[in-house]
Chains A and B, each alone.
Chain A
Amino acid sequence: MWGMTSGALTGLGYPIVQHTLDNGLRVISSPDHIAPSVAINIWYDVGSRDEEHGRTGFAHLFEHVMFQGSAHVASGQHIGLLQAAGAVVNATTWFDRTNYFETLPTGGLDLALWLEADRMATLLEALTQENLDNQREVVKEEKRQRYDNVPYGDVMELLNSLTFPPDHPYGHTTIGSMEDLDAATLDDVHSFFRRHYLPNNAVLSIVGDVQPEDAFERADVYFGHLPTGSKPRKPEAQPLEPLSGLPRAEASGQVPAAAAYFTWRLPARGGRDFDALDLALSILGHGQTSRLHKQLVRGSEHAEGTGASAMGLIGGNSFGFSYARARDGVSPEELEQEVVEVIDQLLTDGPTEEELRRAKAQFERHWLHELARVDSRADALGEYATLHGDPNLINSRIAEITAIGDDEVHGALEQWFRPDQRATLIYRQEG
C-alpha cells in the first residue's frame, strides 16, 4: 500500500525507501540502528534563486521567521522544545534550497514531525509584525557578523555579480542587501509561504533508528492532512554560455593580504561534465598536492594560501572559483599572472593520471564522511531527491566519479575553462 521503491544498490549500500503521501510530500526513509537517534531533514525546493526583484535575502529571512511560532507553538519554542528532547536543531538557506533539520533520540520523532508539520500548516496564524521585525534585526546582525565586519566579507557578492547578470537567479547572494531586508513586509511573508511552503514542494527524510513502514505511517499522521498547492514555477534556468570578455573588478579593504580571485560559469550539476570540472578544480586548488599550492605556496612562495572549488548549482549553471592570497611584498598583479599561468597550464596539459586518481580518492573519503553521520546522510538524501529527483544517487556517487575519464576532464576544460572564459577580482590592501 505504500508503493515503495527499493534503492539501487550499486556501490554503497545504504538502504533507501521512498514513499509519496497523497498530498505530494515525498518521504524518504533510510533505517540505521547503530545509535538510538533519528535525523529529520526537510528540504523545501526554494532558495535565494526564487527571490523577487528588490527582495534579495528574503528566502533566508523567511527561514528565520519559521522559528517564530505557528498556531500551536509559541515563538522560539520550536527549538526550545526540541533541545529539551535532546535535539540538535538548525536550518540553512542557499541558492537552491531551504532546509530545516533536527537529530534527536528516537523517542522524540513524533514531537519533531508534529513541530515541522505545525509550521508547514499554520505558520501564518502566528505571524506578527513584531516577530518579523525582530528576526529582520537578527538577520542584519548575522550579515554584519559574517560578512560586513570580517576581512574579505564582500568577496562572495563581488564574485556573484562578476559571474552572473544582475537579474539572473544566481546574480545575488543568499544573505541579500540591508536595503532589501528593510523593505520586506508581512505581505511578502504571506505570499512566499503560500507559494513555496507546500507539502508537494518538499522532501522529508527520516534517517536512523526507525523502520521505513513506521516512518511513513508517522509522516502520514502528521503531514497527511495538509492540502496540496500548485507547485511554483522555477525561475528561468536556460544554461548560459561560458563567461566571455574577461570581466574584471577591483576592490580594496582593511585586509592583511592582497588577493586575486577567479571565477567561471560551469554547467549545472547532475551531468558528467560538471563532475569532470569538479575534479579539475580539485586538481587545481584542493589540498597540499594541488597545482596552485605546489606552485605558489610551496614553490615560488608568493602566496600564503590558495584554493579552488566547484559549487554545484541546479539552475542552468554552476559556479567555479579559485583564489590566492599574496605573501608580503608580492603585488596582486604578480600573483594574478602566476595563478593564470597555472590555470592555463591545466588546460594545456590536462590532468595527469596520478592527479586524477588522487582527486577521486579524496572525493571518496569526503563522500564516505558525508554519509557516515545520520544527519548529513538525511541532508544528502533531501538534496538528491529535490535537485535530481533520485535519492538513490547517494549510493552511486563514488562509482560515478570514479568512472570519469581523463578525456572527459580535458573535454570539459576545453569547453568551459579556456583563457577567455574567466572573470577576475583583484583585492587590494587599503592604506
Chain B
Amino acid sequence: MGEFLPRPAIAPAAVWAFPAPIRARLSNDIELMIFDLPGQHVISAHLVLDVPLNAERRDIEGVATICARTLDEGTLRHNGEEFAELLETEGAGFGVDLSLSGVQLVLDVPASHLDRALELFAEAVTEPSLAGRDVNRHVQLRLAEIEQAQANSAQTASIAFRATVFDETRRAARMSGGQPETVREVTPEEVAAFHHDHFGPAGATLILAGDFTDDPITVAERSLGSWRNVEQRRVMIEEPTPGPRRALLIDRPGSVQADVRFGGFGIDRLDPRWAAISIASYAIGGAFLSRLNAVLREEKGYTYGVRMNFGPLRTGGSFAVQGSFRTDVLVDALAITRDLIKVDDAPFSSQEVDDAVAFFTGVSPLRYATAEGVADQAATQILAGLPDDYVDRSLALLRSVTPEAATEAYRSIVDPDELSLVVVGDAEQLADPLRASGFSDLEIRSPALDQ
C-alpha cells in the first residue's frame, strides 16, 4: 500500500563539544564555574561541598542528610516559614543531593530572580537556624522515609545489594541518608556541630549555568564571597572495598514479582577500562535490544525491562543486572541471565560496539543542552575528580574501543560465577527452586530482621 521509500541513511553527526566553563575564584577561594547558555531562562546553581559522607561519625550516620534537609527551614535572618516563603516568592526551588563523595546544594531560579534568590540560598547554607524542633522533625521524617523504602521491593533490593557488594565496614555499604539505628541518634546539637565543622568555603565549588541577565561573578561574590569558617575541617574520602560473595533472599510474602540484583564490585571512571566496560555493559544490558532485554522482555515476556548498570564511585564502584520478574518465572529468568552474561563463547561484535558508540555520542548534545544538564554533569565531575573536558575526552576514548578490548575489559571485571545475588520476593515460593538452581548457599532473611 502506498509508495515504499527505502530506509534512509543517517547523515554524519555535527561536531559537538561539552560547553567550556569560565573559571574564577571568589574572595574566600570558592571556585566558581560559569556556563553561559543562551536561551536557558532557568538558572541552575550547584554548590558542591567537599564533605564526603565518611565525615559522619559512625554512630550518627545520616547527620549530613538531616543537616542538609534542615538548611531551608529558617535562617538567622529569616525565621521558620518566612525563609521558604521568600525563596518560593522568587520562583526558586531549593534542593539537596548527598552522595558518598560530597554534598550538593542546588538552586533553580528564573534568570531575572537570580540575584535575590542566590542571596537567600547563601543564607541557608552559611547561617541556617537548624532549630531543634526542625531537626527532630527531619529525623522523624527520615525514619518514615526508611519505612517507605523498606516497604518497596525495588528499594529493599538496592539497599540490600549495596550492603552486600561493599565491605560492611565501609560507608558505601550503608544508605547515604543513614540507617534507622543511627538516624535515631541524630540530635540538634550533633547537626549544628556537623554544620560548624564541615560546611565552609574551603574546597567548595559554585557552578552557575544558564542565560544570565546580570554578571554572574558579581552576583556570586555578593552572595557567597564573604563566607568564612576558620574552623572548617576537611576529611579525606574513604575508598570502598568489596564484600564477600553471597546469595540473599529477602522474604516479602505475597509479592507478585521478585526484584533481582545480581552483580559485584566495579570500577570508577578513571580506570583505563572505563570506556570499554561502558560499551560492554550497554551491549549486555543497556540498549533496548541488549542481550538481556531482547530475550527476557522481547522474546520471553518475563519482565517490563532488565538492565545491567555500572555505578562508578570516586574510586571503585559496583555493577548489577537488575530487573523485576513475576514470581513463577524468576528462576528461569536467572538461569537465562547467567548464560547471557557469559561472553567467553560470544565476544562482543563490531556491530555492538558501533551501536554503543553511536548511542553515547548521539545522546550527549541533548543531555547537555539545558542549564540543569550541564550543571549536573559539572558537579558530577567535581565530585569524581574529573577534568572540565571530561565529556569530550570520554567520547573520544569510547570511539577508540575495539570489540576485543570490550570483551577483555568485561571478562576482567564480570566473573559470572562470583557474583552476589539479592532477590526480594516470596520466599515460600522461591527458596527451594533458587537453591536447586545453583544458589546452594542461599541465605533467607525476613525484612524485620534485616535492620
A interface, CB within 8 angstroms of B? 32, 34-37, 39, 71-72, 75-77, 79-81, 83-89, 103-108, 110-111, 114, 121-122, 133-138, 140-142, 144-146, 148-151, 209, 221-222, 225-227, 254-257, 287-289, 294, 297-298, 301, 304-305, 325, 327-328, 354, 357-358, 361-362, 364-365, 368-369, 372-375
Contacts and interface: CB of A to CB of B under 8 A. Distances in A.
Contacts of A354: 85, 89
A55 to B, nearest CB: 20
A257 B149 CA distance: 12
Given A106-B14, A150-B153, A369-B42, A76 B88 contact: no
B84 A288 contact: yes
Q: How large is the interface on B (under 10, 10 to 19, 20 to 34, 35 or more residues)?
A: 35 or more
A362 B2 contact: no
Contact of B109 (A221, A255, A365): A365
B147 A257 contact: yes
Contacts of B344: none
B7 A111 contact: yes
A107 B12 contact: yes
Contacts of A37: 365-366, 369
B255 A86 contact: no
B256 interface: yes
| Secondary structure type dominating chain B contacts | mixed
B294 to A, nearest CB: 7
Contact of A141 (B84, B303, B354): B303
A241 B301 CA distance: 43
Contact of A111 (B10, B89, B145, B256): B10
B16 A361 contact: no
Nearest to B365: A35
B256 A144 contact: yes
A17 B1 CA distance: 31
Contact of B39 (A34, A87, A133, A135): A34
B10 A108 contact: yes
Nearest to B255: A149
Of all A-B residue pairs in the complex, the 5 with the closest CB atoms, nearest first, are A86-B362, A137-B301, A107-B11, A361-B91, A110-B8
B152 interface: yes
Interface stretch (B136-144, B175-183, B233-241, B409-417): B136-144
B221 interface: no
Given A37-B369, A79-B289, A105-B13, A84 B355 contact: yes
B184 interface: no
Contacts of A32: 39
B132 interface: no
Interface in B286-322: 287-289, 294, 297-304
Nearest to B144: A304
Interface in B1-58: 1-5, 7-14, 16, 37-42
B92 interface: yes
B88 A362 contact: yes
25 contacts: A32-B39, A36-B16, A37-B369, A83-B355, A104-B362, A107-B14, A108-B362, A111-B9, A121-B2, A133-B301, A134-B299, A136-B301, A137-B302, A141-B301, A141-B324, A226-B2, A254-B254, A289-B81, A289-B88, A325-B144, A328-B144, A354-B89, A358-B85, A364-B110, A372-B40
B108 to A, nearest CB: 6
B90 interface: yes
A335 B256 CA distance: 31
Nearest to A137: B301
Contact of A138 (B137, B141, B151, B301): B301
Given A35-B365, A144-B256, A287-B88, A298 B93 contact: no
B370 A373 contact: yes
Contacts of B372: 369, 372
B150 interface: yes
A268 B45 CA distance: 37
